[in-house]
């Protein structure tokens, strides 16, 4: 009935059922909605209806709702529930979502939140919280179906059926031995094609692609993307199967990591979105800007060192923005190529050498092209051949330096295990500013007698 309604109409219908205290009607509506839609309705609800909305929902649905909300809203919901109900809902939540919720919370707060939960469930969560943030151990779920290697196909299918409602994905069954070590994988398709009495051991794939609990989440996402999997098993150092990471969570990882790269490349500061308040956004952006202000002062003091040169040939100032701008731009271009390349490539010496040689080649080509172009422009504009040569030769050199620094700096940071994207665009730009000013004024001073 509601399948053609807009979100607003549905919200109104929900409010009506809440006002009239019609729980049946309320449930009938929610039955037709996806958890994401229910979260949207909850968001749009006036504050006064929220309590009854939560009261009307069963714990299953509450757990689904929580998984769709952001952290702030999750806590808001939990605060509205009684302690006993909180425990039940947390028991039902996927453990990866719960781990994310608890992240950054004080130990006391965690203990009090988990107190209502079943011992077995809260133990799992506490174990997960011991893995480093942003690793496979943090985002795996324990809701998967495993089978033993001696099962028959029929036994495997029976187990799958009885766990279907509980499991996150039913496309793969992971096979473990008596020590819970991961020894194989069969797909649901394999089971359908095999004979009921075949032994799993004989039909399973033995070359299982797996992540370990400490694998970085970005790498896990990369594996799943390359292999087109819907889930990937996660094992510990002894190859014991601990959980699975599912593609829906990994898709979120990909989006999050891409946004982080962009934030860092633009030095826009952590997590500013459309809802961030002006004061908070300014506070997050200011540290970078102030750092860059001081670096700008360094540029200024370099120029002041060449005050006499500049006073004699004021025209040199005309080309300053162009030279430093171009150097910054080519550096940013190299930086973006390298930062994104590091995400999807395995790095070894050969690749790094090739990359640096390639960028040197690029710098050479664009340096020669732009250098000649600006020499001619400067000569015809200012009618001074020496000025043309000084500007052109400086641009040639700074473009090579800029291109190389945009490639080498992130590679060094990567080698030092520092996120290369931190060498943000503005930072590279500002460093290149300094390189380019020194080069430009250095060359100009050398030719000063012929410039005046």
Site for a copy of itself in 179-218 (CB under 8 A): 188-189, 192-193, 205-209
Residues 225-244 that bind a copy of itself (CB under 8 A): 225-230
Among 15, 45, 129, 320, binds a copy of itself (CB under 8 A): 320
- Given the complex with a copy of itself, which of 311 and 416 has the nearer CB atom? 311
- CA separation for the pair 182, 176 (Å, rounded): 5
What's the closest the beta carbon of residue 40 comes to a copy of itself, in angstroms?
9
Which range touches a copy of itself (CB under 8 A), out of 44-52, 71-79, 117-125, 326-334?
Answer: 326-334
Q: Are 196 and 152 in contact (CB under 8 A)?
A: yes
Helices 95-102 and 59-68, axial angle in degrees (round to 10): 60
Question: By CB under 8 A, what part of segment 79-118 binds a copy of itself?
Answer: none
Choices 14-22, 35-43, 79-87, 105-113; region in contact with a copy of itself by CB under 8 A: 35-43
In the chain, DSSP finds a helix count (H) and a strand count (E) of 23, 6
CA nearest neighbour of 103 among 124, 130, 122, 121: 130
Cβ of residue 282: shortest distance to a copy of itself, in angstroms? 4
Q: Minimal distance in Å, beta carbon 155 to a copy of itself?
A: 16
Q: Which residues lie below 8 Å from residue 94, measured CB to CB, with a gap of 6+?
A: 63, 67, 141, 143, 168
Indicate which single residue of 285, 379, 438, 448 sits in contact with a copy of itself (rule: CB under 8 A).
285
Tell whether residue 2 is a contact of a copy of itself (CB under 8 A): yes
Q: How far apart are CA 421 and CA 314, in angstroms?
A: 38
CB of 340 to a copy of itself, least distance (A): 6
Distance CA 157, CA 356 (A): 54
Residue the block writes with tokens 């069969």 = 186
Residues 136-165 that bind a copy of itself (CB under 8 A): 161, 164-165
Measured in whole angstroms, the distance separating CA 179 from the mean position of its chain's CA atoms is 35
Which of residues 83, 354, 450, 452 is near a copy of itself by CB under 8 A?
A: 354
Angstrom CA distances, 313 to 299, 424, 451, stand at 19, 34, 7
Q: Structure tokens of 26?
A: 């309320």
Smallest separation (angstroms) from a copy of itself to the CB of 385: 18
Q: Which of 223, 240, 228, 249 is nearest to 146 (CA)?
A: 240
Q: Which is nearer to a copy of itself, 14 or 374 (CB)?
A: 374
55 sits near a copy of itself (criterion: CB under 8 A):
no
Q: Which of 55, 83, 258, 376 binds a copy of itself (CB under 8 A)?
A: 258
Contacting residue, 57, 362, 390, 423, with a copy of itself by CB under 8 A: 362
Return the number of other C-beta atoms located less than 10 Å from residue 65's C-beta: 24
Shortest Cβ 310–a copy of itself spacing (Å): 6
Nearer to a copy of itself, 132 or 287 (CB): 287
Whole-angstrom distance, CA of residue 182 vs CA of residue 239 = 6
Pick between residue 110 and residue 356 the one whose CB is nearest to a copy of itself. Answer: 356
Identity of the residue, 199 or 315, whose beta carbon is nearer to a copy of itself in the bound complex: 315
Minimum distance of a copy of itself from residue 269's CB (angstroms): 7
Helix, strand or coil, per DSSP, at residue 60: helix
| Nearest approach, Cβ of residue 9 and a copy of itself (Å) | 12
CB of 7 to a copy of itself, least distance (A): 11
Residue 38: Cβ within 10 Å count: 22
* Tokens matching residue 240: 């014991």
Residues 365-394 that bind a copy of itself (CB under 8 A): 365-366, 369-370, 373-374, 377, 381
H-assigned helices in 313-348: 320-344
Whose Cβ is closer to a copy of itself: residue 87's or residue 371's?
Answer: 371
Strands 211-212 vs 182-187: parallel, antiparallel or unpaired: unpaired
Judged by CB under 8 A, the number of residues near a copy of itself is 125
Candidate ranges 41-49, 84-92, 145-153, 298-306; the one touching a copy of itself (CB under 8 A): 298-306
Contact pick of 132, 133, 196, 361 for a copy of itself (by CB under 8 A): 361
> What's phi and psi for 204, nearest 5 deg?
-75, 155
- Which of 261, 386, 401, 439 is in the footprint of a copy of itself by CB under 8 A? 261
The H or E element that residue 184 is part of is strand 182-187
Counting every residue written for the chain, the total comes to 452
């Amino acid at each position: 009935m509601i399948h053609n309604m807009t979100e607003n109409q549905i919200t109104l219908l929900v409010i009506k059922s809440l006002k009239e205290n019609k729980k049946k009607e309320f449930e009938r509506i929610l039955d037709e909605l996806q958890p994401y839609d229910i979260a949207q309705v909850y968001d749009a609800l006036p504050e006064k209806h929220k309590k009854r909305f939560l009261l009307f929902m069963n714990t299953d649905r509450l757990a689904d709702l929580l998984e769709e909300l952001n952290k702030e809203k999750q806590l808001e919901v939990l605060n509205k529930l009684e302690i006993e109900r909180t425990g039940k809902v947390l028991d039902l939540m996927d453990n990866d979502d719960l781990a994310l919720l608890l992240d950054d919370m004080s130990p006391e707060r965690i203990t009090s939140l988990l107190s209502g939960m079943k011992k077995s469930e809260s133990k799992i969560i506490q174990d997960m919280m011991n893995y480093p943030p942003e690793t496979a151990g943090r985002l795996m779920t324990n809701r998967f179906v495993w089978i033993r290697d001696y099962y028959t196909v029929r036994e495997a299918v029976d187990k799958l059926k009885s766990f279907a409602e509980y499991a996150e994905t039913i496309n793969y069954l992971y096979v473990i031995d008596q020590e819970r070590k991961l020894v194989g994988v069969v797909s649901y398709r394999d089971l359908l094609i095999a004979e009921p009495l075949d032994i799993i051991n004989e039909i399973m794939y033995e070359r299982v692609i797996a992540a370990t609990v400490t694998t970085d989440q970005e790498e896990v996402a990369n594996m799943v993307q390359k292999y087109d999997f819907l889930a990937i098993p996660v094992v510990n150092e002894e190859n014991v199967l601990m959980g699975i990471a599912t593609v829906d969570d990994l898709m979120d990882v990909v989006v999050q990591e891409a946004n982080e790269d962009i934030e860092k490349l633009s030095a826009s500061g952590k997590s500013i979105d459309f809802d961030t308040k002006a004061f908070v956004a300014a506070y997050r952006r200011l540290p970078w800007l102030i750092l860059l202000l001081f670096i700008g002062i360094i540029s200024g003091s370099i120029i002041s060192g060449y005050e006499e040169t500049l006073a004699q040939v004021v025209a040199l100032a005309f080309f300053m923005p162009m030279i430093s701008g171009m150097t910054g731009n080519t550096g940013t271009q190299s930086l973006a190529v390298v930062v994104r390349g590091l995400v999807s490539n395995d790095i070894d010496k050969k690749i790094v050498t090739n990359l640096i040689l390639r960028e040197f080649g690029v710098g050479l080509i664009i340096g020669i092209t732009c250098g000649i172009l600006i020499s001619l422009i400067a000569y015809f504009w200012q009618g001074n051949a020496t000025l043309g040569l000084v500007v052109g030769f400086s641009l040639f050199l700074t473009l090579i330096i800029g291109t190389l620094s945009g490639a080498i700096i992130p590679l060094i940071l990567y080698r030092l295990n520092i996120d290369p994207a931190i060498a943000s665009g503005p930072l590279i730009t500002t460093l290149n500013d300094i390189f380019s000013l020194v080069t430009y004024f250095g060359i100009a001073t050398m030719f000063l007698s012929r410039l005046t």
